[in-house]
C-alpha cells in the first residue's frame, strides 16, 4: 500500500481530511519535476547581471515562463507544515479547556453518583481525543519524512533538500512540544474519582508481609502515551517533592561505580548470587545537591531469597568522602541519635555505610557509567501494592576518560561536549512494574494483566540500564555482553555509539557477536533467523494472546476494518517509526524489516506483537534432565526384563515367551529414543522461551498404550493356556 492511500484510510473522521498533509499533491509535483528535469543552479557562478535575460532550462525554455518549479514544492511543503502545526496547537488548546471544565467539577466536590459517571466519561473522552491527536501528529510526521525522502530519491542530482527540512521539521512546535501537563491533570481527575487518599488511609493496618516481583518491559515511542493512559486510569502520577508539577516526568541521573576490570558489571551480567551494583543518584536537571547512595544486591529467587535495594542520603559535598572512605561515620551517627533516631535504625545505617565505603575502597571503584532519563512514576500515596515507572529519553553516558581529581569530580559537567562513543541513546522507553504479592492475594490486579497482554509491552528479562550502558560504551573492556544487544531494534543505536563490534558477525562483519558466549540466554533463539522461525512456528492462540486479544474485555483494543489494532495506533506496521524497508520501485514502505516483531513466510508479511518472555531458572533445566533420566530408567528396566525372559525361554523351549520378549525389546528402545527426542525438544523450547505447552500429551500415551497392549496380550494368552491345561486334565 502506498503511503498516500494509507494516509487517506487513516484520516480521523472527527478531524476530516483538511488538516492532514496533502501528500498526493506533493507527490504529483515530484513526479512532474522528475519528468521535466529542472535545471540545476550553477554552483560556480558568483555574480549575476541584472540586465541579461534569465537562463534557460533543459528544454531551452525561459525559466521565468515555467509554471512548475522546485519553489512550488518547497512553498507547498512550508504551507503544509504550518497547517499541521496550527491544527495541532488548536486541538491542544481545546483539550486544555475541556480539562479545565472537568477540574472545576472536581473542585466543587461534585463527584458522586451521576456526576461521577459524567466526569469519568468526560475524562475518557479527553484521553481518547489526545490519543487521536497523537496519531494525527505521527501520521503527518511520517508523511513529511517520506515525501522528503522520495523528493531526494527522484531529484537528488538537481536540488536535494531532505537533510535541511528534516532538521526544520524536528524543530517545529508540534513535534517538539511537551504536552505531559495534560497527563498530570488527567491523573488528578482519575485520582479524585477513585478517592485515592481514602483508599490509602484504609490500608494502614493491612498485613505488611509480602513478596515483591519486578518485571521490566520495552515500550516503543509511539505507544508511550497509550501506556501512560492505561496506567493513570488506575494509578495517579507520583511526583517527587523536587518536581514543579508542570510535567509528569522527572529528570533522573544515576552514576554507577565499577573498577578497571568491570567486576561489578560482570557479576550483574552473570547474575552471581550476592552480586552488587553501586550508584549515586540525584533528581532534577540542575547540579546535584542531595545525593542518594544506593546498593542493589542480587539474590536468586529460586533459592528462596529476594534481591535487596538499600540506600542512604548524603549532601553533594560529602560524595568525595564516601568515595575515598573518609566519611565521618561516628560524627553522623551522633547527629542521628541527637535527632531522636532509634538505636536499631542508626545501627543498620552504620552497617550499610561501612559496607559500601569499604567495598569502594577495597575494589577500587570509580565512576564508570551514568544513566539519564525522564522518569514518570505511578503510585497511590502510602500504598505500594502496585508501582509503575516509565523511563523515557533514556541515554547512557561514559564516566571514563577525565581527571577525577581524587574523586572531587565524580560526574561529567553538563557543559562538556560528548563524543559519539561517549553517549548512547536507547531507542525505547523502559517500563517497570513492581507488585507486592500478599498471602491473601497472589495474583496481580486484572488491569495489570490486561496491560501486559495488550501488545504494547515487550518484556526483556532482567534488563539493566547499567549493564547495557557498559556493554555499549565500553565494548573493549567487557568480556561478555547481555543477550538483548542482538535485538534488531537496538542495532542502529549501538552502531551510532561506535560499539558495532559487539554485534553479531553476520550483521556488521566485525566482532565476535553479542551472544557467542551467552546464546543459551537468548529469549528467541541464537540468531535473528531462529527468532523469526520461532515466531512463524507459534500457534494462533499464542499470536492472539501476544496481541492482547484475550479475555472478555481486551482493553485499549479496537478493530479497524479487517485488522485488529491497538486503539488509535498506526495500523500499517507499527514498527514504521523505527526502521523502514523501501520499495525500489516507488519508495513506499510495505513493512518494517527486519524487526523482531515482523516475520516473513511464503513471501507474505505478518506482524507479530511482542511476546512476554517466560523467565528461566536453573531448576527448569534440572527438571528436564531429571525427566530424561526417568524415561531412560524405564527403558532400561523393560529391556532387562525382555533380556531375562529371552534367556530363560531358550532353555525351556517356550516359544511364546520368546515372542513376548522380542515384543518388549522395540518398546524398550522406543522409550530410550523418545527420552532423547523429548529432552532435546524441550531444551529448545526452554531456550527459546516460546509461550505454549512444554509437555508432550501424545508420546506417553502411545508408549504406555504399547506396553499395556503387550501385557494384555500376555495376560490373555496365559489365561488361555491355563484354561486349556485344565480342560485337558479334566478330560
pLDDT tens-digit readout, 635-654: 899 889 888 888 777 666 66
Q: Is the model's pLDDT at 592 over the cut of 50?
A: no
Secondary-structure breakdown of the chain: helix, strand, coil percentages, each rounded to the nearest 5:
50, 15, 35
Cβ atoms < 10 Å from Cβ of 509: 9
**198 in the same domain as 132:** no
Q: What is the pLDDT of residue 80?
A: 93
- Do 260 and 155 share a structural domain? no
Residue 294, classed as helix, strand or coil, is strand
SS3 468: helix
pLDDT score recorded for residue 318: 94
Question: Do 383 and 526 have their domain in common?
Answer: yes
> What domain count does the chain have?
3
Whether 397 is in a domain gets the answer: yes
Query: Apex CA 215: angle with CA 212 and CA 216, to 5°?
Result: 145
Inform me whether the pLDDT recorded for 668 exceeds 70: yes
Does residue 622 sit in the same domain as residue 518?
no
Q: Tell which of 505, 531, 557 closes a domain.
A: 531
**Across-strand partners of 391?**
375, 430
Instruction: Give me the mean pLDDT over the 10-28 stretch.
Output: 89
408 and 503 share one domain: yes
Identity of the highest mean pLDDT range in 171-185, 648-662, 665-679, 683-697: 665-679
C-alpha closest to that of 642 among 671, 668, 670, 674: 668
pLDDT of residue 395: 94
Statement to judge: residues 285 and 378 lie in one domain: yes
Q: Name the domain boundary from 531, 552, 573.
A: 531
Indicate whether 184 and 167 sit together in one domain.
no
pLDDT value at 519 more than 60? no
Give 431 or 455, the one with higher predicted confidence: 431
pLDDT at 160: 83
Of residues 158 and 570, more confidence is placed in: 158
Q: Please state, in angstroms and as integers, the Cα–Cα distance from residue 715 to each residue in 562, 643, 711, 712, 721, following that order.
A: 60, 19, 6, 5, 10
User: Is residue 354 scored above 50 in pLDDT?
Assistant: yes
Quick one: pLDDT at residue 327? Answer: 93
Least confident interval from 43-47, 414-418, 501-505, 694-698: 501-505
Domain boundary, last residue among 487, 508, 531: 531
> Is 219 contained in some domain?
yes
Residues 660 and 716 both lie in one domain: yes
Asked whether residue 518 carries a pLDDT value surpassing 80, the answer given is no
Q: In this predicted structure, what is the pLDDT of residue 717?
A: 83
pLDDT at 117 over 70: yes
What pLDDT, on the 0 to 100 scale, is given for residue 214? Answer: 84
Burial 142-163 (b: 16+ CB within 10 A, else e): bbbbbbbbbbbbbbeebbebbe
Residue 525 lies in a domain: yes
Assigned domain for 114 exists: yes
Same domain, 85 and 142: yes
- Report the pLDDT value the prediction gives residue 255, as an integer from 0 to 100: 96
Domain extent for 662: 618-730
- Which range has the worst mean pLDDT, 52-61, 226-235, 499-508, 596-605? 596-605
Kindly provide the residue ranges of all beta strands, DSSP E only, lying in 503-658, ordered along the sequence: 557-560, 563-566, 598-601, 604-607
Give 58's pLDDT tier (boundaries 50, 70, 90).
low
Supply the CATH number for residue 214's domain: 3.20.100.30
Higher-scoring residue by pLDDT: 192, 323:
323
**Do you know the residue count of the chain?**
731
State whether residue 372 is helix, strand or coil. strand
Whether 44 is covered by a domain: the verdict is no
The pLDDT-based confidence of 681 (bands split at 50, 70, 90) is confident
Other Cβ atoms within 10 Å of 235 Cβ, number: 24
Contact 249, 243 (CB under 8 A): no
Q: Is residue 555 very low, low, confident or very high in pLDDT (cuts 50, 70, 90)?
A: very low
| pLDDT number for residue 728 | 79
**Grid-cell match 522395540, residue found:** 666
Closest CA to 437 of 216, 210, 200: 210
Same domain, 678 and 691: yes
Q: Please give the mean pLDDT across all residues of the chain.
A: 77
Residue 2 backbone dihedrals phi, psi, to 5 degrees = -70, 155
Tell me the C-alpha distance between 693 and 538, whole Å: 11
Percent pLDDT > 70 in the chain is: 73
Listed range (34-48, 93-107, 265-279, 471-485) with the worst mean pLDDT: 34-48
Over residues 201-216, the pLDDT tens digits come to: 444 433 333 456 788 9
- The span from the CA of 714 to the CA of 718, in Å, is 6
Is 267 domain-assigned? yes
What are the tens digits of pLDDT across the range 521-538?
444 444 444 444 443 444
Is the pLDDT at 218 greater than 90? The verdict is yes
Residues 173 and 185 in one domain: no
Per-residue pLDDT tens digits for 431-447: 999 888 666 666 788 89
Q: CB neighbours of 602 closer than 8 A, spacing ≥ 6? A: none
- Max avg pLDDT among 34-43, 93-102, 174-183: 93-102
Considering the domain boundaries, does residue 724 fall inside one? yes
Residue 34 is assigned to a structural domain of this protein: yes
Q: pLDDT tens for residues 125-174? A: 998 999 899 999 989 999 999 999 998 888 877 778 888 888 888 888 88
Range from 429-438, 571-580, 587-596 that averages highest in pLDDT: 429-438
Whether 147 and 233 share a structural domain: no
- The 8-class DSSP code of residue 441 comes to B
Amino acid at each position: 500500500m502506498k503511503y498516500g492511500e494509507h494516509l487517506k484510510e487513516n484520516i480521523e473522521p472527527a478531524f476530516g481530511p483538511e488538516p492532514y498533509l496533502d501528500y498526493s499533491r506533493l507527490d504529483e509535483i515530484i513526479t512532474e519535476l522528475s519528468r521535466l528535469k529542472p535545471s540545476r543552479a550553477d554552483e560556480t557562478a558568483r555574480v549575476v547581471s541584472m540586465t541579461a535575460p534569465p537562463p534557460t532550462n533543459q528544454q531551452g525554455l525561459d525559466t521565468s515562463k515555467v509554471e512548475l518549479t522546485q519553489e512550488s514544492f518547497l512553498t507547498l511543503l512550508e504551507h503544509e507544515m504550518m497547517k499541521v502545526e496550527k491544527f495541532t496547537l488548536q486541538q491542544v488548546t481545546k483539550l486544555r479547556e475541556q480539562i479545565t471544565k472537568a477540574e472545576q467539577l472536581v473542585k466543587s466536590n461534585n463527584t458522586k453518583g451521576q456526576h461521577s459517571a459524567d466526569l469519568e466519561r468526560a475524562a475518557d473522552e479527553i484521553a481518547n481525543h489526545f490519543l487521536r491527536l497523537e496519531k494525527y501528529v505521527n501520521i503527518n510526521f511520517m508523511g513529511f519524512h517520506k515525501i522528503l525522502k522520495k523528493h531526494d530519491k527522484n531529484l537528488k542530482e538537481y536540488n536535494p533538500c531532505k537533510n535541511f527540512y528534516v532538521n526544520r521539521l524536528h524543530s517545529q512546535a508540534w513535534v517538539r512540544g511537551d504536552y505531559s501537563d495534560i497527563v498530570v491533570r488527567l491523573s488528578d481527575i482519575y485520582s479524585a474519582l477513585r478517592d485515592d487518599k481514602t483508599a490509602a488511609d484504609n490500608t494502614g493496618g493491612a498485613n505488611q508481609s509480602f513478596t515483591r516481583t519486578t518485571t521490566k518491559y520495552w515500550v516503543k515511542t509511539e505507544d508511550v502515551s497509550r501506556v501512560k493512559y492505561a496506567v493513570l486510569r488506575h494509578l495517579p502520577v507520583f511526583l517527587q517533592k523536587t518536581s514543579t508539577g508542570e510535567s509528569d516526568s522527572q529528570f533522573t541521573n544515576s552514576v554507577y561505580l565499577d573498577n578497571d576490570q568491570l567486576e561489578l558489571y560482570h557479576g550483574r551480567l552473570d547474575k552471581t548470587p550476592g552480586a552488587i551494583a553501586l550508584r549515586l543518584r540525584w533528581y532534577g536537571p540542575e547540579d546535584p545537591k542531595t545525593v542518594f547512595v544506593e546498593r542493589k544486591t542480587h539474590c536468586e529467587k529460586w533459592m528462596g531469597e529476594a534481591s535487596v535495594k538499600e540506600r542512604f542520603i548524603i549532601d553533594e559535598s560529602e560524595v568525595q568522602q564516601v568515595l575515598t572512605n573518609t566519611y565521618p561515620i561516628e560524627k553522623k551517627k551522633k547527629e542521628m541519635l541527637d535527632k531522636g533516631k532509634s538505636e536499631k535504625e542508626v545501627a543498620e545505617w552504620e552497617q550499610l555505610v561501612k559496607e559500601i565505603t569499604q567495598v569502594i575502597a577495597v575494589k577500587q571503584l570509580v565512576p564508570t557509567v551514568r544513566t539519564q532519563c525522564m522518569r514518570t512514576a505511578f503510585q497511590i500515596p502510602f500504598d505500594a501494592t502496585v508501582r509503575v515507572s516509565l523511563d523515557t529519553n533514556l541515554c547512557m553516558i561514559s564516566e571514563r576518560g577525565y581527571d577525577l581529581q581524587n574523586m572531587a569530580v565524580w560526574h561529567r559537567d553538563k557543559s562538556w561536549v560528548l563524543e559519539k562513543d561517549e553517549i548512547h541513546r536507547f531507542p525505547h522507553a523502559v517500563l517497570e512494574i513492581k507488585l507486592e504479592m500478599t498471602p491473601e492475594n497472589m495474583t496481580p490486579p486484572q488491569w495489570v494483566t490486561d496491560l501486559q497482554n495488550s501488545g504494547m509491552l515487550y518484556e526483556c528479562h532482567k534488563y539493566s540500564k547499567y549493564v547495557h550502558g557498559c556493554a555499549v560504551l565500553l565494548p573493549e573492556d567487557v568480556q561478555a555482553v547481555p543477550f538483548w544487544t542482538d535485538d534488531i531494534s537496538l542495532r542502529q543505536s549501538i552502531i551510532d555509539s561506535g560499539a558495532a563490534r559487539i554485534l553479531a558477525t553476520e550483521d556488521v562483519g566485525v566482532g565476535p557477536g553479542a551472544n557467542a558466549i551467552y546464546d543459551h540466554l537468548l529469549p528467541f533463539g541464537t540468531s535473528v533467523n531462529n527468532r523469526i522461525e520461532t515466531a512463524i512456528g507459534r500457534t494462533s492462540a499464542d499470536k492472539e494472546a501476544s496481541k492482547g486479544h484475550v479475555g472478555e474485555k481486551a482493553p485499549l483494543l479496537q478493530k479497524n476494518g479487517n485488522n485488529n489494532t491497538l486503539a488509535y495506533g498506526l495500523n500499517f506496521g507499527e514498527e514504521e517509526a523505527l526502521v523502514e524497508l523501501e520499495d525500489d520501485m516507488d519508495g513506499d514502505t510495505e513493512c518494517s524489516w527486519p524487526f523482531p516483531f515482523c516475520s516473513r513466510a511464503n513471501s507474505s508479511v505478518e506482524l507479530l506483537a511482542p511476546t512476554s518472555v517466560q523467565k528461566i531458572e536453573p531448576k527448569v533445566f534440572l527438571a528436564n534432565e531429571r525427566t530424561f533420566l526417568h524415561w531412560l530408567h524405564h527403558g532400561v528396566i523393560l529391556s532387562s526384563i525382555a533380556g531375562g525372559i529371552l534367556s530363560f525361554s531358550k532353555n525351556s523351549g517356550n516359544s511364546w515367551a520368546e515372542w513376548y520378549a522380542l515384543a518388549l525389546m522395540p518398546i524398550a528402545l522406543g522409550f530410550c529414543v523418545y527420552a532423547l527426542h523429548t529432552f532435546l525438544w524441550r531444551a529448545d523450547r526452554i531456550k527459546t522461551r516460546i509461550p505454549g505447552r512444554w509437555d508432550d500429551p501424545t508420546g506417553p500415551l502411545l508408549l504406555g498404550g504399547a506396553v499395556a497392549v503387550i501385557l494384555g496380550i500376555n495376560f490373555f494368552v496365559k489365561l488361555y493356556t491355563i484354561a486349556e491345561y485344565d480342560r485337558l486334565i479334566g478330560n
